[in-house]
Structure 1
Amino acid sequence: MRKIFGTIALIFLTAAAPALAQPGFQTEASHAVIMDYETGEVLFNHNGDEAMPPASMSKMMTVLMVLEALEAGSLSLDDELPVSVHAWRTGGAASGSSTMFLEVNSRARVEDLLHGVIIQSGNDACIVLAEAIGGSESAFADMMTDRAHELGLTSASFANATGWPDPGQMISARDLAELARILIRDHPDYYGLWSEREFTYNGIRQYNRNPLLGVFSGADGLKTGHTEDSGYGLVGSAERDGERRIIVFNGMPSNADRATEAERMMRAALSDYGVYHLFSDGDAVDHRAEVFMGEADSIGLQVQGDVTAGLHRRSRRDLRVTVNYDGPLVAPIAAGDVVGTLRVEAPDYETHEYPLVATEDVARKGLMGRIGAALAHMIRG
């Protein structure tokens, strides 16, 4: 059977679009993703599906596990948890790493520990929470991995609760962006913690390391990360005029470079990229599929699921939407049968395909009709 291609004109997208003169956003980060929060569309992807060491950005998964325990009732904000020797030695003042400065053999409230993880990036706070939920940090890390996979974050593997360098601590930029989206969408009551600028514990004031906060209007999260292996990275989110974008990047050479890139990427995310609605679930497309051996010669097609395209505004002019099916379709066909795909393509855009279903039933011709159709088909070649 031959492949049928029908191009759908999208004049409403191309009328005022500028010519595509150069590629969209570019970055010196080793890994980067820009995601639209509302749709989950990836607007920009640079090695974004490649697993990378996330450093402290993996603390987002630690926080998610804590929030789910709170909502399940197995933990409460007022619970006071013990600070073990392991938590103090591995993540406390003695470790020389990011710390909340918890004292060994003391106890700390879960609410304070959450602040310590989110604002201060305290490794000791992460371990205390991990031990309370999982029994040990390693067991908690296994729980993190299992839960991430349940959520569809298939690139994720965790060896600890902190992001400390380990060959088993890996996740892609795309999955970090999706993790941020989950935290924002599913835990709105706690999301405000990510934008708090400072937190004081045991008389020690520490400041949120997110370079977007207080600098980029609308920025309200989420997490920085840095190790020698990963470089400097960020998961950031900001909302303007009802649109929210999530950015993830890693591998910048310095703290100053991270701050510069964070602002540059977020500005591009909100100014240079758009999400364009093409079809709603059930919309008919402007193309009918040819039918063979049917009581009707053609059949209508409709989209299954909403169809959007998130792309650089320069790429709108070159957006191409095609109907694809192996045709002619052979009767009988039932309304609702998947008979083809709608393909959306554009420069610097990940090609997407959506199912197309038949809009009506087409019965098979009777015997004489089938004979006539076969003869006509032979004559036409």
Structure 2
Amino acid sequence: MIATLTPIDLLRGSSDYYKFYKKGEKISLSTLIQSTLIASSNEAAYALACWHSGSESYFIPQMIRKSHMLGLTNSHYTSCSGLDRSAYTTAQDMSKLAKVFVSKYTTLASYCSLKYFEFNGKKVSNTNKLLLAHAAVIGLKTGNLVGIGSNLINYWIDEDVHYISIVLGAESQESCYELSKRIMHNYASLTASES
């Protein structure tokens, strides 16, 4: 088990609700990965970037280079957490990234399907509420930024067909989930009418 020291308490713009670690606490990489993917922890993403590259400022150029290699030409990353408002992306780029993630990084992607993880006796639920409400949903990633909106990359399988939907910049978490549910329902109706 590889462990790393967490370099910060709470990132600016992050919620106390998702604060799981204290600065200097030793956390396993698998726990940090689960925290990032299941609980959408910005602090865990930051700790992983620092573990990988020594600092966030060294990590970002590598992240940008990798995104270009993947063909994400309409995205610009300025932080590892997504809290920086000068970053941007598109639904098309997020769809490309999601497809690569679920097909090439299956072990990591499988964390997104977990309904919770436990750390220090605390049960931390998955931030994707659709995962908890719909059996077909198996991930993928939530994101919220005050003043910008709520985002959800939703991944589900229906009769061996894999689907990914992207909602970016919804007014609230509730409307984000409602839009995602509508997309799922529309795909289900479409496939049913084709049968």
TM-score (norm 1): 0.48
Inter-partner Cα distance in structure 2 for 1:149 and 1:269:
30
SS of corresponding position for 1:88? coil
Q: Render the CA deviation track for 1:171-220: whole Å, top value 9, x for unaligned.
A: 11111011111011101233221011112223332211112213223110
Partner residue, 1:171: 89
Partner residue, 2:43: 124
Give yes or no for the alignment of 1:260 onto 2:181: no
SS of corresponding position for 1:224? strand
Partner residue, 1:160: 79
Opposite residue 119 of structure 2, the aligned amino acid is: Y
Partner residue, 1:205: 123
Give yes or no for the alignment of 1:247 onto 2:170: no
Q: Render the CA deviation track for 1:52-71: whole Å, top value 9, x for unaligned.
A: xxxxxxxxxxxxxxxxxxxx
Runs (4 or more) in structure 1 with deviation over 4 Å come to none
Instruction: Give the conservation status (yes or no) of the 8 Å contact 2:78–2:84.
Output: no
Partner residue, 2:55: 136
Q: Render the CA deviation track for 1:227-267: whole Å, top value 9, x for unaligned.
A: 12321121001101111110001222222222221111112
Inter-partner Cα distance in structure 1 for 2:111 and 2:19:
16
Partner residue, 2:143: 225
Evaluate the alpha carbon distance shift between residue 83 and residue 214 of structure 1 in structure 2; reply closer, same or farther with a 3 A threshold: closer
User: 1 or 2, which has the higher helix percentage?
Assistant: 2
SS of corresponding position for 2:100? helix
For residue 15 of structure 2, the aligned residue among 54, 78, 96 is 96
Inter-partner Cα distance in structure 2 for 1:211 and 1:179:
21
Give yes or no for the alignment of 1:111 onto 2:30: yes
Partner residue, 1:79: 2
Partner residue, 1:185: 103
Inter-partner Cα distance in structure 1 for 2:173 and 2:57:
30
In percent, how many aligned pairs have the same letter? 24
Evaluate the alpha carbon distance shift between residue 190 and residue 172 of structure 1 in structure 2; reply closer, same or farther with a 3 A threshold: same
Inter-partner Cα distance in structure 1 for 2:17 and 2:65:
26
Inter-partner Cα distance in structure 1 for 2:85 and 2:62:
17
Q: Count residues with an aligned counterpart.
A: 194
Inter-partner Cα distance in structure 1 for 2:173 and 2:23:
31
Inter-partner Cα distance in structure 2 for 1:83 and 1:254:
30
SS of corresponding position for 1:185? helix
Q: Render the CA deviation track for 1:309-358: whole Å, top value 9, x for unaligned.
A: xxx97xxxxxxxxxxxxxxxxxxxxxxxxxxxxxxxxxxxxxxxxxxxxx
SS of corresponding position for 1:90? coil
SS of corresponding position for 1:156? coil
Q: How far is the alpha carbon of 1:100 from its aligned partner?
A: 4.4
Opposite residue 150 of structure 1, the aligned amino acid is: M
Give yes or no for the alignment of 1:151 onto 2:74: no
Q: How far is the alpha carbon of 1:97 from its aligned partner?
A: 4.8
Inter-partner Cα distance in structure 1 for 2:5 and 2:10:
14
Inter-partner Cα distance in structure 2 for 1:98 and 1:148:
30
Instruction: Give the conservation status (yes or no) of the 8 Å contact 1:165–1:227.
Output: no
Inter-partner Cα distance in structure 2 for 1:250 and 1:184:
19
Q: Render the CA deviation track for 1:150-183: whole Å, top value 9, x for unaligned.
A: 111111211111110321x111111101111101
Q: How far is the alpha carbon of 1:95 from its aligned partner?
A: 5.2
TM-score (norm 2): 0.90
Partner residue, 2:189: 271
Opposite residue 127 of structure 1, the aligned amino acid is: Y
Unaligned runs of 5+ in 1: 1-77, 275-311, 314-381
Instruction: Give the conservation status (yes or no) of the 8 Å contact 2:14–2:42.
Output: no
Opposite residue 83 of structure 1, the aligned amino acid is: T
